[in-house]
Structure 1
Amino acid sequence: MPGPETAGTLHVVATPIGNLDDLSPRAQRILREVDAVCAEDTRHSRQLLAHFGIATPLLALHEHNEEQLAGRLVARLQGGDALALVSDAGTPLVSDPGYRLVRAARRAGVRVSPVPGPSALVAALSVAGLASDRFVFEGFLPAKAAARRERLAGLAAEPRTLIFYESSHRIADTLDDMRASFGGGRPAVLARELTKLFETVLDGSLDQLAAALAADPNQRRGEFVVLVEGAGDAADARLAHGRRVYALLAAHLPPSTAARLAAELSGAPRKALYGQEPA
């Protein structure tokens, strides 16, 4: 039976992103005490619970069934059951399902309590050496190239540190698109397989990181967090904005005309824009 801390509560529990030792003692206790654990992938979570000798029942809760199950789960919570919500790795709701259940629970007056722990984006930011006082988390970029480039073009003038998640089969293309949108000289960090056996954190310009991946196939494996320095001072922001405008205009106008108009609209030097490849 759930104890006084857990009765009628939805616990949002962070789980390890790689190293199982990162599951906190409190998280282990909560996962033992609740009536059921709502998991993105029950097969994955069953292995995690078994490692710690936890036999709590699992319920599958993912993007395809969350809307339908939320009402039933809230009813259980209102009846006094305690539930935990976990994702496959890290903090739930961060590029993972769960917000619909949390929203439904809060609207119903159910207590929702965080059990904090690992998060890949925070772990990467903590070791990146980039400005961390203000940052933008963009999650996964679109899988299709055109949509990905459009999203990146819209972020070219963003002054805050940019953080992305990316998969192994798209990381090389994503870095190429970032070079086109942000410029190859923009400082960046590539954090791979954080807390796991083959963890690597590479820093340098986007050009240098792309070259490092091209030279070593092992660096293209695993799960990635990509961090990119913000656009910097006003001049850098104007140049980034000018390149974004030029890329849009160059798809329809001669390069010289596109560069002239982009310079007028952005205030960036025309010579710095002319001949840039569209993003």
Structure 2
Amino acid sequence: MISGFVKAINKRHERAISGGYNNYAEMVWKDCIHRDVNSVFSFLNSALQASHEETVSDNREFELIDVLDTLFETIHKTFGIIIKENENDYSVLNGDGESLGTFSLCLYNNYDDGNWFNMDGPNNGIVNTNFVEDDTLSSTQVILLWHEVGHAIHHLLADLSTVPPDLWELGSILFEELCSEVFDIPISTNCIKKDLAIALVDLELSLSNGIDEKQFINIVEHVQNSIGVNLDIDDIGKCIYGQYGGVCFTYPYCRDLVEQDRQKAIGMMQPTNK
């Protein structure tokens, strides 16, 4: 597995060099707000210094219908938009009743594994969770559901294909924080630390000029020891494969934006070219 990671890292570095960039980070940051190493390291170091109280387990269960009703009420209160349930999906309407698009919810293990949001054109999207079994959700599942719907609302407001990569997680993180506030569910400290660890590993790998297996292991172990979390194969894979490779710092950056100035974060999600 490690050899495969190293091979992929070195191949993408070669691709960046052939494209005229100094490293992979420089290549994928061309569409970001943050395009230089110093600014990225600056807010990651700030996030590293920030203290978050250790969370305690929350064993409550929540009714799905109540979670969705509260979610849609919060969306209306926050953005002034209306969610209208259709037979197979949900319409999103602005304050004048004009359509911003639709999204579908796949909740009952009938689509695909995992929790994710996919764009389906500029005005449509699919939210997938696949963890609902008996119409009740754990506190963790409530946060996850709001997280993915946050992506959908961000997309329908601003079209995620036009959003700078370092803001890709703005909607999801905002909705996590709104959910935490509404239901009094604490955001997992371990998840916050893990997002930061992934971002730091991702940054080191993306800036590297080619590495070997020993260097790869040293980077991962150093970050894990510094932050006090363990990263699994999927966490590390996020740094290397797919669209988030090189821009995993979107998670801690967007959380910092939301925590520092929520109204500014909400404003950054508002319609631009739609």
TM-score norm. by structure 2 comes to: 0.23
Please state which structure has a larger fraction of its residues in strand: 1
Q: Specify the structure having the higher radius of gyration (Cα).
A: 1
Q: Structure with the greater relative contact order (CA < 8 A, sep ≥ 6): 1 or 2? A: 2
Task: Identify, as 1 or 2, the structure richer in helix.
Answer: 2
TM-score where L is the length of structure 1: 0.22
